[in-house]
């Protein structure tokens, strides 16, 4: 779908200079929320991003071309690299920030939605705060952050609900998250799938010593991502290979028990990641995901996905045509689905056409339309 060239779309795309501010939780990693934050900013050239922590070297290169305003805490390098340790503090800090542009767009999965806006406040929800409502699954039951959240959870929930009540327009990434927002806050939300952001025509950089034909898992190494279960599944599949791309708190545990047919890669560039997608046999993911982004990234290269039948994957994997599901994130269930997928007659053209339905142009045009209406 082409970009919106209507008067409303053109006006909205020019609104960045002084009219729109984008607010994000943080920009210190490469993930779906960070891609969406940068896509929101790109829809309104010249708009700044306000966030808690920012490190251009840890997130996507496009961030270097954007004006990013951070909190004073950003000067603490140790906290930038371990931002999960201070979850309970961020919401109250963001609640003190007032943004005065006519439109504020909050890209939130934690606390960005807590800023005070004098104009129209739009929240794009990646999820209700996982660290607050699913603390143990997100941070691990014994982590410092989880224990700290538990001590002040009632205060944080009151803060959170007040911030939601102060929002004018709610958008979210999937039907799973729309349902969760409805259950927690009793609000109606428009589902606007984020762009997958992968360009199969862009340059690629091979990974040394890696032959095509492996399975691929692209994920942060957090408890709810279940990457350990995917790795364990391939321990029982000696005739198959797995490449895991990601980093996070679970890295040491995974590295300590890595099967011979599994390779763990971290710090990959976009060009390297594109090559990995282009040369995989299939993506494998067992995460409890709010939006199934990686299946779309794989699909843009005509590659199928073996995914957990849960949450956001239900929106982005077309069973039998672009991927297969397994029922639970256990090594046995994953291994069985991988074996089935290896014998399935996939059509790369059908898979790539499915990904095209989630193109960046569709996302940008709808966001510009919403902002244009707000400005009028």
Q: What is the pLDDT of residue 79?
A: 61
Averaged over 348-353, what is the pLDDT? Answer: 98
Query: Comparing 7-195+359-375 with 214-356, is the CATH topology the same?
Result: yes
65-74 pLDDT, tens digit each: 888 887 776 6
CA distance 199 to 120: 33
SS3 content of the chain, % helix, strand, coil (to 5): 45, 15, 40
Going by pLDDT thresholds of 50, 70 and 90, the confidence category of residue 84 is low
23-49 pLDDT, tens digit each: 998 888 888 889 899 999 999 999 999
Least confident of 32-41, 78-87, 342-351: 78-87
214-264 pLDDT, tens digit each: 999 999 999 999 999 999 999 999 999 999 999 999 999 999 999 999 999
7-195+359-375 carries CATH number 3.40.50: yes
Q: What is the pLDDT of residue 132?
A: 76
Going by pLDDT thresholds of 50, 70 and 90, the confidence category of residue 130 is confident
pLDDT tops 70 at residue 77 = no
pLDDT tops 50 at residue 8 = no
Q: What is the pLDDT of residue 171?
A: 98
How do the domains of the chain map onto residue ranges? 7-195+359-375, 214-356
Quickly list H helices, the chain. 7-13, 16-19, 32-42, 77-80, 90-94, 130-133, 135-139, 144-165, 175-185, 227-235, 251-256, 270-278, 293-299, 313-316, 331-342, 348-356, 360-375
Average pLDDT, the chain: 88
169-188 pLDDT, tens digit each: 999 999 999 999 999 999 99
Look at 219 and 138; give whichever has higher pLDDT. Answer: 219
3 state SS of 363: helix
**Tokens 């011979």 sit on residue:** 260
pLDDT tops 70 at residue 134 = no
Residue % of the chain over a pLDDT of 70? 86
Look at 30 and 293; give whichever has higher pLDDT. Answer: 293
The alpha carbons of the chain give a radius of gyration, in whole angstroms, of 20
Q: What is the pLDDT of residue 3?
A: 35
Q: What is the pLDDT of residue 92?
A: 76
According to CATH, the topology of domain 214-356 is Rossmann fold (3.40.50)
3 state SS of 60: coil
Query: pTM for this one?
Result: 0.76
């Amino acid at each position: 779908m082409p970009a919106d060239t209507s008067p409303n779309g053109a006006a909205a795309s020019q609104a960045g200079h002084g009219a729109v501010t984008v607010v994000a939780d943080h920009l210190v990693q490469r993930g779906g929320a960070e891609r969406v934050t940068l896509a929101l900013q790109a829809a309104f050239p010249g708009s700044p991003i306000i966030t808690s922590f920012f490190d251009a070297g840890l997130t996507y290169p496009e961030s270097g071309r954007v004006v990013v305003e951070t909190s004073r805490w950003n000067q603490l390098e140790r906290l930038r690299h371990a931002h999960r340790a201070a979850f309970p503090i961020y919401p109250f800090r963001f609640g003190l920030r007032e943004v005065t542009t006519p439109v504020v767009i909050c890209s939130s999965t934690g606390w960005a939605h807590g800023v005070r806006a004098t104009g129209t406040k739009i929240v794009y929800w990646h999820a209700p705060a996982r660290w607050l409502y699913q603390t143990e699954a997100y941070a691990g039951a014994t982590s410092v952050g989880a224990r700290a959240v538990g001590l002040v959870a009632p205060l944080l929930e009151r803060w959170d609900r007040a911030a939601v009540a102060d929002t004018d327009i709610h958008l979210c990434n999937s039907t799973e998250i729309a349902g969760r927002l409805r259950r927690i806050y009793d609000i109606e939300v428009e589902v606007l799938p984020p762009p997958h952001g992968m360009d199969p025509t862009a340059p690629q950089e091979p990974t040394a010593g890696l032959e095509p034909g492996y399975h691929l898992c692209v994920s942060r190494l957090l408890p709810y991502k279940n990457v350990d279960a995917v790795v364990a599944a391939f321990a029982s599949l000696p005739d198959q290979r797995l490449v895991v791309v990601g980093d996070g708190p679970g890295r040491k545990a995974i590295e300590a028990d890595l099967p011979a047919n599994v390779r763990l890669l971290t710090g990959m560039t976009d060009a390297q990641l594109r090559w990995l997608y282009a040369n995989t046999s299939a993506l494998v993911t067992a995460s409890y995901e709010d939006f199934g982004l990686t299946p779309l990234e794989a699909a843009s290269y005509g590659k199928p996905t073996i995914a957990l039948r849960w949450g956001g994957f239900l929106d982005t994997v077309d069973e039998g045509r672009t991927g297969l599901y397994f029922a639970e994130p256990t090594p046995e269930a994953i291994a069985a689905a991988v074996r089935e997928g290896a014998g399935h007659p996939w059509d790369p053209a059908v898979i790539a056409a499915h990904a095209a339905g989630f193109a960046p142009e569709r996302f940008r045009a709808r966001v510009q339309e919403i902002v244009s209406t707000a400005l009028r």
